[in-house]
Structure 1
C-alpha cells in the first residue's frame, strides 16, 4: 500500500504505525532490518514509513547548538551585511586579551578549515589580531596554501616593519606556502617616492603577485589604536590622525581609510601608501577580516557597510553590538 499524501487525513491505526516505527528507529536506535522483522513487514516499507513520518511532522530534526557557539548571530550578521561567511567566537570577557584569544583561535580554525593547496594568500601589516590568528595555527602535515604575500609594508618603527615580515613568514611556515615579502615601508614621503619604489624590481615582483591573490587576510584599523599598537609604534602620527578625522575617517583596511558609511576618504595619504590599491583589494575573491572589541565596533560596521571585506571573524560581544544599530 502506498503512503497517502502528507496533506491528507489518515486513520489512527496508520498514525500509530508511523509513530511506532519512528520511535523504534530514532529513539531506541533499532536498525531498519530489525524493525521489519519485529513488525513483520518489509524493510522497504519501513524505509517508506520513516520518510512519511518526517513528511508528516511526526519526526523533526532539531539542531541544538552547544554553549559558546552562536549560529543565530552569525546568520544575522551575514544577512544584514551581505557577507560570504561569519564566524563568531565565544569570548569570556571584553578585555583586550580575552578578545584576542577568542578571535585568534576562531581565525586559526577558519583558515585551517577553508584554505586550499592552491590558495595565494595576501596578508596585511602587523596587527594584534592577525598575530593572534597566526600564533594559534598549528603546522599542517600537507601544504594548505601556495604562497603568502605581504600586501603592504610595515608601518611605524623599523622594528615593527620587521614584525610585519615575521607575520608573513610565520603564516607561510604553518601553511607550507612560499613567503613573498615586501621589502619596503608601508607609508612613504610622497607619490613620487612611492611610484619610484613600485618600479624597483624586488617590489615590482611582489606587486605582480597581488594580481593572483585568492584570499586576503586583514585586520580592521581604528583611529583609536589599542595601547599595544600605540606602544609598538605601529600607527600614524597624531597630526596624520587628526587630518583623517577632519575628513570623516573612522578606520582603515590596509591603510585605505573610509568614513562611517564605508566610503573611501580622499586623503593625501592615499598617494603615499606602498601597498595594495583599493581596486586590487576589492578584486580579491575572498577578503577575511579578523577584528573585535568595543573600540572597533564603529570601524567594523563601516568596513562591512563599504564591503571592504566579505568574511568576518569576530567575538560574541562585538557581533551583538553590530546588530544593535
Structure 2
C-alpha cells in the first residue's frame, strides 16, 4: 500500500478515480485513456497501479455456480492437504461417480507434468470411469503406470483392472506395469512365494519410483466391484476389523477414524504397496465421494494416506463440520 504520509490532493484523487473508472468499468484501453486525457501512457499505467495500492480498486474473484473454491481452500487448511477438488452432484441421492470422474480426468490432464511414474489402485469403479472420460495427451504425461495392489481377480471382472491400467498408460504415453497376482492370497506363505516371482519383483521395485498415486478410498463394506473380483475380505474379517475400530481402507490397508493403521488379520496375505511406501509418494490423489464414505475419507485425510482429495460438495461440508 502507498504510505499514509503521501496524502494525495483532492485533484489528484479525482484524476485517479477517473482513470480507474475508465479502465475497469468502461473497458477503455490505456492508449485511448492517455489520448482522451492528454497524458502519456506510462502515466496512465502508474495511476492505475496507484489506484490499486491506495485501495481505490480492489480485485474480487467471484466463483461461478458449481465451483467451490472456498470449500477447497478450507479443506486444504483444515487437513493439511496439498490440494482439493470439490464437485457439484446434480440431484439429491444421485450417483457421484460421473461428476468425480470428470473432475479427476480434468485435474490429471492439467497436472501431469511429464515423466511421472503413476501408481494406480486396481479395483475402483470411479478411477475406471475417470480414465474413460480422460483425453489422450499430445505429449507424454508419464513414464510408467503401475498397479500398486494385486490386479488379478475373478475372470468376469479381471478385465477391469487390466483396462484401467492399460488405458491410463495409453492416454499418458506410458508403459503399463501389471501386478500378476491377486490382492488377497490364501496364505502368508503363498504371498512370500509370489513376491519372489521375477514379474512381481519388477512391480514392487517400480513402487519405489512412484511420483503420483491414483487411489480410491474404500469403506468397511466392500464395493460391489471389489466383491465380484474375489479380492474382498470375508464377513468374518469384516467383523474383526469393526472390533479394531476400522472405518475404511486405501489399497486394502485399513485404518481407524483417526487414520491410524489397524492390525488386520489378513495383512500378511496382502500383495500391495506398504503404508510407509505409499506415504512417501509425492502426490497421492484420492477420488471418493458419497455420504456413506465420509468416515473413511475423514480417516484417510487425518492419517495422511492421501494429500490430494477429489470429492463432492456434501462430503466436503461434512468434513469441515467435524
Same fold (TM over 0.5): yes
1:111 Cα shift? 0.5
Aligned pairs for 1:167-206 within 5 A: 167-206=164-203
1:217 shift after superposition: 0.4
Aligned-pair Cα RMSD in Å: 1.8
Find the partner of 1:84 among 82, 89, 97: 82
Indicate which of 62, 65, 69 corresponds to 2:63: 65
- 1:14 aligned residue: 12
Show the 5 A alignment for 1:105-254. Answer: 105-154=102-151, 157-227=154-224, 229-230=226-227, 235-254=232-251
Which digits, 9 at most, give the CA deviation of each residue in 1:246-272, with x for residues without a partner?
111111000110001100001232111
TM-score, normalised to structure 1, is: 0.94
Deviations 1:108-155 (A, max 9, x none): 101111012200000012212111211121222222111100111137
Correspondent of 1:27 among 16, 25, 28 = 25
TM-score (norm 2): 0.95
User: Gaps (5+ residues) in structure 2?
Assistant: none
SS at match of 2:45: helix
Residue-pair matches, total? 322
Which residue of the partner structure matches residue 42 of structure 2? Answer: 44
Distance in 2 between residues matched to 1:48 and 1:228, nearest whole Å:
62
Partners of 1:63 and 1:314 in 2: CA distance: 23
Write the deviation string for residues 64-98 of structure 1: whole angstroms up to 9, x where unpaired.
Answer: 1111000000000000000000001111135352x
Contact 1:128 1:229 in 2 (8 A): no
CA-CA distance at 1:8 after TM superposition: 4.2
Q: Is the 8 A contact 1:155 1:187 kept in 2?
A: no
Question: Counterpart in 1 of 2:305?
Answer: 308
Aligned CA distance change for structure 1 residues 272 and 303 (closer, same or farther; 3 Å)? same
Structure 2 distance, partners of 1:301, 1:293, is 12
Q: Give yes or no for the alignment of 1:290 onto 2:287.
A: yes
1:232 to partner: Cα distance: 5.8
Q: Is 1:161–1:185's contact at 8 Å kept on the other side of the alignment?
A: no
Pair 14,4 (structure 1): closer, same or farther in 2 beyond 3 Å? farther
